[in-house]
Amino acid sequence: MTREITGFSNPLVKRVRSLREKKYRKQEGLFLAEGLRILTEAREAGRLPEMLFHAHEGASHPLAIALIAQMEAEGRDVIVTSADILSKISGKDNPQALVGVYRDQDVPLDAIDRTGSGLWIVAQSLRDPGNLGTILRTGDAVGAGGLILVDDCVDPFSVEAVRASMGALFTQAIVQCRWDAFLTWLRSGPGQLVGTSLRTDQDYQAPRYAAPTFLLVGNEAQGLPSAYEAECDLLVKIPMLGKADSLNAAVATAVMAYEIINQRRVRA
């Protein structure tokens, strides 16, 4: 169903705008995604928004036309509005021409099929939405099964994290849980837990990683707690040949993920 909204005070505009805040995302079970590229990635992954907002000029691209047609065919809300109202919803001065409202896609830990992929990424106390989005993109690139967020991580459904994921949010399973719950679940079946740490001398290319590998990366500033490192089957270190003592968390994740899958590609 297509309709038009022209007023800033419209209750739906206020409701959707509130999804920029975590507490309202949790209450509603909804989140925002912006831009034709991200919304197209979602559609290709089988995910349609509950509601789609677009400016008049945002409906001219063939991919936008196809998305709107599918939304209307399924009886979902399509709202035509102004660029100013889209700016109010997204919080950007130069908003994207399309904004989608999606159903939360948290996956329970016990719903994960660990054998569905040879690699899973686990992040502990990750704080930066840009890093989280980039890690999701890396997971998609290497064919990881998903991202397991342990302890108090940044919200993966924040506008900033969704934007940084460039659509990978819709291709990766996302789990949020506490460390004890993750560890109990992990040890109930197959899985090698590999941690990245500065407190080891084992080079990251030395071991042979066993599938499924659970790649554990720590907080950007503090790394992994020592108690968490003690639970790892392997601790490895990426060599630093310059003056820096460590890599950015998202970069380190990418280096490790590609080492793990490249070992398997060579053996295959």
Are 49 and 113 contained in the same domain?
Answer: no
Same domain, 82 and 166: no
For residues 225 and 149, is the Cβ–Cβ distance under 8 A? no
Alpha helices in 120-246 (DSSP H): 129-142, 159-165, 179-186, 226-230
**Exposed, middle or buried, 83 (CB in 10 Å: 0-12/13-18/19+)?**
middle
pLDDT at 248: 87
What total of structural domains would you count in the chain? 2
54 and 33 in a single domain? The answer is yes
Tokens coding 124: 């502990």
Both 88 and 132 in a single domain?
no
How far does Cα 2 stand from its chain's mean position?
30
136 and 122 both lie in a single domain: yes
Peptide bond into 11 cis (omega under 30): no
Which residue range forms the structural domain that includes residue 44? Answer: 2-103
Alpha-helix residue ranges (DSSP H) falling in the chain = 11-17, 22-28, 36-44, 62-73, 83-90, 129-142, 159-165, 179-186, 226-230, 249-267
In a shared domain, residues 244 and 130 = yes
CATH of the domain at 88: 3.30.1330.30
* Under 8 Å between Cβ of 238 and 196: yes
The Cα–Cα gap between 225 and 231 comes to 10
What is the mean pLDDT, run by run of 10 residues, along the chain of 268 residues?
A: 85 94 95 94 95 84 93 94 87 78 92 95 96 97 97 95 94 96 97 94 95 95 93 94 80 96 79
Residue 5 confidence (pLDDT): 87
- At 198 the pLDDT is 86
Per-residue pLDDT at 243: 74
In DSSP notation, 99-136 reads EEEEE--B--GGG--GGG-SEEEEEES---HHHHHHHH
- What pLDDT is recorded for position 268? 56
* pTM more than 0.75: yes
Helix (H, G, I), strand (E, B) or coil at 56: helix
Do 25 and 155 touch, CB atoms closer than 8 A? Answer: yes
- Contacting residues for 187 by C-beta, under 8 A, at least 6 apart: none
Residues 99 and 147 in one domain: no
pLDDT given for residue 13 in this prediction: 92
The pLDDT score that the predictor gives to residue 88 is 85
Residues 74 and 113 in one domain: no
- Beta pairing, strands 98-103 & 30-34: antiparallel
Domain boundary among 71, 103, 135: 103
pLDDT at residue 89, as a whole number: 87
- Say how many C-beta atoms besides its own lie within 10 A of residue 134's C-beta: 22
Same domain, 145 and 263: yes
Here the CATH number for the domain that contains residue 229 is: 3.40.1280.10
